[in-house]
């Protein structure tokens, strides 16, 4: 199984320091839906792994999160793509859970549910915590400049050897062209 793991906010859709709290606030980054569609057509299983602490912070409910995800799935399908699974952490930063990135719990759950190692699997994100979580399970982190990516590049000290791309479309181009072997 060819697998790619994507963060949501800042990778697929525009991010907000105020959180994405409703389907109306969810807007895809240009080219991201088409990139997911291309991955799907090339036989990749596409999975989302996303921190969603807005639930714990009381900014939106689990029901509202489901509506946001429904909008995302509908938009991806309209472009001929598919997101095969969405894994998310609804906890806050002080909740002490193992599923909140940078801890590897979400990735471990993906490995368990898909019954496969994540060694060498590309995990695409826009923050240092995405890179750290991916490395903890021997996945191959990729950093995008979208979302918090530019800020991450300026501040982070632990990104060495993680390839950096302008956006999800540029990563997908390189992956499908065999440039990331």
Residue range(s) defining the domain that contains residue 58: 2-176
Would 151 be classed as within a structural domain?
yes
Q: Given pLDDT bands bounded at 50, 70 and 90, which one contains residue 154?
A: very high
Residues with a catalytic annotation lie at 7, 9
Assess whether pLDDT exceeds 90 at residue 21.
yes
Query: Pairing between strand 85-89 and 140-144?
Result: unpaired
pLDDT at position 99 is 96
Assess whether pLDDT exceeds 90 at residue 2.
yes
Assess whether pLDDT exceeds 90 at residue 158.
no
Assess whether pLDDT exceeds 80 at residue 38.
yes
Q: Given pLDDT bands bounded at 50, 70 and 90, which one contains residue 5?
A: very high
Mean pLDDT for the chain overall: 96
Q: How many folded domains does the chain comprise?
A: 1
Helix spans in 42-114 (H): 62-78, 105-114
Would 181 be classed as within a structural domain?
no
Q: Which of 25-34, 110-119, 150-159 has the lowest mean pLDDT?
A: 150-159
**CA nearest to 158, candidates 180, 140, 181, 135:** 135
Would 10 be classed as within a structural domain?
yes
The CATH number assigned to the domain holding 145 equals 3.40.50.1000
Mention every residue, 6+ apart, whose C-beta is less than 8 A from residue 20: 9, 13, 26, 54, 68
Assess whether pLDDT exceeds 90 at residue 135.
yes
- Residues 70-86 pLDDT 10s: 999 999 999 999 999 99
Cα 154 to chain centroid distance, Å, stands at 20
Please state, in angstroms and rounded to a whole number, the distance separating the CA atoms of residues 23 and 144. Answer: 23
Would 28 be classed as within a structural domain?
yes
Type and span of the H or E element at 168:
helix 168-176
Would 101 be classed as within a structural domain?
yes
pTM score: 0.97
Would 100 be classed as within a structural domain?
yes
∠ CA(160), CA(127), CA(58), 5° rounding? 160
Please state, in angstroms and rounded to a whole number, the distance separating the CA atoms of residues 128 and 13. Answer: 18
- Cα→Cα distances 33→16, 131, 146, Å: 19, 22, 14
């Amino acid at each position: 199984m060819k697998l790619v793991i994507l963060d949501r906010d800042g990778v697929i859709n525009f991010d907000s320091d105020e959180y994405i709290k409703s389907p109306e606030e969810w807007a895809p980054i240009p080219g991201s839906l088409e990139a997911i569609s291309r991955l799907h057509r090339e036989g990749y299983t596409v999975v989302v792994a996303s921190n969603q602490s807005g639930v714990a912070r009381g900014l939106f409910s689990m029901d509202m999160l489901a509506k946001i995800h429904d909008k995302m799935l509908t938009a991806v399908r309209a472009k001929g793509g598919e997101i095969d699974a969405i894994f998310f952490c609804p906890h806050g930063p002080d909740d002490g859970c193992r599923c909140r990135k940078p801890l590897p719990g979400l990735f471990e759950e993906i490995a368990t549910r898909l019954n496969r190692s994540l060694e060498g699997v590309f995990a695409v994100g826009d923050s240092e915590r995405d890179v750290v979580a991916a490395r903890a399970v021997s996945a191959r982190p990729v950093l995008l400049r979208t979302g918090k990516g530019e800020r991450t590049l300026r501040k982070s000290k632990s990104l060495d050897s993680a390839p950096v791309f302008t956006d999800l479309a540029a990563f997908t181009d390189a992956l499908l062209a065999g440039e990331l072997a």
